[in-house]
């Protein structure tokens, strides 16, 4: 690995089956049983599945009906996002005891840069172990962690010993680790890309590393350069504690398809109210309003309008969404409607300049 690239101590913490685990924690009768968070009806979708349910093949984003067929004894619970956010905040407060460089990816996972940390502990592995122990003792849930020199490798490593485990990829082990990795394990390589790589004879990190940057650019476009670098352990993205929000949205999937625009307007009113509440709570506003429409045949359509001013008011959002709804006739009955605001005023905000401290590229410090 080139000496010019900084080596950081990055931890990726990933809660184990977070939503389902919270439900099992709050309702002891669910412990040890297959649990799915989400809807069980004809139009329901699984948001999360417990490990007991995963043994039957139940996965997130799966339809409730399919999940039930795979696991007849599956227990469905409703999503409780307020509760998940409450627990997530407790967990993040534990993170902040060790470092201010915390980048949440979602309610249940985050990156931590502990190259320099509040405990003065030189071992990122020991810090990860301590954090996981505290989450279990103070919150009651288990977490897994990956530890390595950058975010990409830490993310892959956190999935290695799930649930309730951790894996450290030391600096000197990075290249052998990546070379022996199945290409499907590479973070950022989805199912479609993996199939394409298989067709090109790329099955492992070693296969990927054998390809030139020109070859990867030709076959994978802009992503080719990314693949070329990460398989060599090069990923310079820093942990960003203040991620700037680019958009904010709310959407609803309906139990029955809507064919009347009158019924759609009623649903849009509730969605606009929800978007407005989220904007106000986040203290942001936006100029571009986008209406998302998913038809009964699962085709998707978006219609957007950019206003000359920032808005967060529900009535303005609703009126714009109405205009977009009537912009053209419906192609089919509708199963989902959503409203999002982008071009937010956060884009105008600038971060305070901070001095970037040089990070040692030596391999002698403990992981």
In this prediction, what percent of the chain has a pLDDT beyond 90?
A: 72
Contact of 289 with 302, CB cutoff 8 Å = no
pLDDT tens-place string over residues 272-303: 999 999 899 888 899 999 999 999 888 889 99
* Residue range 257-274, pLDDT digits in tens: 998 888 899 999 999 999
Per-residue pLDDT band for 366 (boundaries 50, 70, 90) equals low
In degrees, rounded to 5, the angle at the alpha carbon of residue 125 between the alpha carbons of residues 124 and 128 is 85
205 neighbors 186 (Cβ within 8 angstroms): yes
- Kindly give, in sequence order, each residue whose CB lies less than 8 Å from that of residue 167, ignoring residues fewer than 6 positions away: 145, 146, 147, 157, 158, 160, 161
Report pLDDT digits (tens) over 206-219. Answer: 999 999 999 999 99
Dist. CA 109–CA 105, nearest whole Å: 6
Catalytic residues: 109
Read off the DSSP letter of residue 38.
E
Label residue 274 left, alpha or beta by phi (over 0 means left) and psi (-120 to 50 means alpha). Answer: alpha
Q: What is the pTM for the complete model shown?
A: 0.72
| 39 burial type by CB count under 10 A (0-12 exposed, 13-18 middle, 19+ buried) | buried
Nearest partner of 113 among 133, 127, 130, judged by Cα: 127
């Amino acid at each position: 690995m080139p000496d010019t690239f900084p080596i950081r101590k990055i931890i990726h913490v990933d809660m184990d089956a977070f939503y389902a685990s919270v439900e099992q924690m709050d309702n002891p009768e669910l412990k040890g049983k297959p649990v799915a968070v989400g809807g069980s009806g004809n139009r329901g979708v699984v948001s999360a599945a417990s490990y007991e349910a995963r043994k039957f093949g139940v996965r997130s984003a799966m339809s409730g009906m399919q999940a039930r067929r795979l696991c007849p004894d599956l227990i469905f619970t409703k999503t409780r996002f307020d509760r998940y956010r409450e627990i997530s905040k407790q967990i993040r407060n534990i993170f902040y005891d060790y470092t201010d460089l915390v980048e949440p990816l979602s309610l249940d996972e985050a990156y931590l840069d502990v190259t320099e940390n509040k405990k003065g502990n030189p071992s990122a592995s020991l810090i990860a172990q301590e954090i996981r122990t505290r989450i279990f003792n103070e919150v009651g849930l288990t977490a897994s962690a990956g530890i390595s020199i950058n975010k990409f490798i830490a993310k892959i490593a956190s999935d290695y010993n799930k649930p309730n485990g951790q894996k450290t990829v030391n600096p000197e082990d990075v290249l052998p680790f990546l070379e022996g990795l199945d290409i499907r394990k590479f973070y950022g390589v989805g199912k479609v890309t993996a199939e394409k790589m298989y067709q090109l004879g790329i099955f492992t990190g070693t296969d990927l590393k054998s390809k030139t940057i020109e070859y990867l650019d030709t076959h994978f476009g802009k992503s080719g350069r990314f693949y070329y670098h990460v398989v060599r352990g090069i990923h310079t993205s820093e942990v960003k504690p203040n991620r700037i929000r680019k958009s904010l949205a709310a959407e609803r999937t309906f139990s029955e398809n809507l064919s009347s625009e009158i019924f759609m307007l009623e649903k849009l009113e509730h969605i606009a109210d929800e978007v407005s509440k989220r904007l106000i709570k986040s203290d942001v506003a936006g100029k571009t309003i986008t209406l998302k429409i998913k038809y009964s045949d699962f085709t998707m359509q978006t219609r957007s309008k950019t206003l000359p001013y920032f808005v967060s008011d529900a009535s303005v959002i609703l009126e714009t969404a109405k205009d977009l709804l009537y912009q053209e006739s419906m192609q089919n009955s509708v199963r989902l409607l959503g409203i999002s605001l982008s071009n937010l005023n956060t884009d105008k905000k600038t971060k305070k300049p901070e001095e970037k401290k040089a990070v040692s590229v030596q391999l002698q410090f403990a992981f």
